[in-house]
Amino acid sequence: MRIIYHCPRGLHAFAAAWLHLGLGRHLPAPDRVPLPPPGRLRYLGDDPAGNRVYILARAALGGVATRALSGVACVFGLPLNELLLVDAAPPPAPAGAPLWARGAAPGELLPRWDRERLERLVRATALKSRRASGSRGPVVSAPLPTVFYVCYGSAHSSVVAAAIHTGVLPSHRRATAREITALPDFDRLENSRIGTPVFSGADAAGREVYALGLASGRKLLVRTIHDLLEELGLGPGSVHFADALEGANWAIRVGGFLSRRLGLVRLGRPVCTWGVIADYPRFQRLVRETMAALGAIDSRPPVADNSGDVREEPAWGDELEAGPGGADN
């Protein structure tokens, strides 16, 4: 099993993983904690049961990160009980705690009440991992890359781009409002499900195509997903991400906000639909560029490494070096 402790900055995730692995009775001083870069998985070690333990600084994206990582892992065949995501972010200090007890003592990493909370969390995690009984075989990569079109909430931009890619929407002309609103996933996904991959279908070459909303952490969580897939033994050529929200017009953003965030569907959906029609050439161009990139990936010759194993040539350097952040719709 792979256990990922996560929190916004990584500090509490590190403390939880330290306690989980039994690395010492005392936590290190705050200035000696090796915080992971935002969005990058950091492996800390194996626990006595053989579980691999990681930490993740995921910004303010707890639920989205959990759904995205578990959802993508399932897409690639990892059993649900082989990936355990544990939110180590601290709640507010107990209401009854005196002011002097709410912060950590000098030289201490955590206040006492917070350490006791993490110790309970770690015990529960260890118990849950022992109860899990999934298959521990390797995850097998599909022969073709899996395609994810990414936007804020997987309700508009990514759904339209994925539908063009799979041939559900036309690629040679603008789609009509009726065709767009007839998509089963257009303007449908609830906020509580943001981060869940939405299967759109297979393209003409047989690649699976998904819409994926990553809220305001599109670049950050794409890096995390790459790290997770690498830990699962999948090469960089097994997945392709395309940003469907980059350059989206104001109508798509405002209409999506009104419909999905505020619940004003009768007002927001027509505005968003009009925005998609106006922006349709951008979606067509994005799909053409994605298909061209996929063609280059598919035709790239395999490369033998020093061990004699054959692998695909990496193609993700530019994307992995992009900074965290994202748009708001």
pLDDT, tens only, 12-60: 999 999 999 998 778 887 778 888 899 999 999 999 989 999 999 999 9
Beta strand 146-151 with 208-213 is parallel
- Give the pLDDT confidence of 175-224 residue by residue, as tens digits: 999 999 999 999 999 989 999 999 999 999 999 999 999 999 999 999 99
Amino acid in position 215: A
pLDDT at 130: 77
Task: Provide the H-helix boundaries in 132-184.
Answer: 157-165, 177-181
Nearest to 86 by CA among 2, 26, 25: 2
311, pLDDT greater than 50: no
Report the alpha-carbon distance of residue 167 to residue 170 in Å, rounded.
6
Pairwise CA distance, residues 10 & 2, whole Å = 17
Its pTM stands at 0.83
pLDDT, tens only, 67-106: 999 999 999 888 878 899 999 998 776 665 554 445 555 5
Can you give the pLDDT at residue 107? 56
pLDDT of residue 319: 35
| pLDDT confidence of residue 83 | 92
Distance CA(264)–CA(200), nearest Å, equals: 25
Helix (H) or strand (E) holding 119: helix 112-131
pLDDT at residue 254, as a whole number: 93
- The one-character DSSP state at 260 is I
Q: Which of 89, 129, 119 is nearest to 26 (CA)?
A: 119
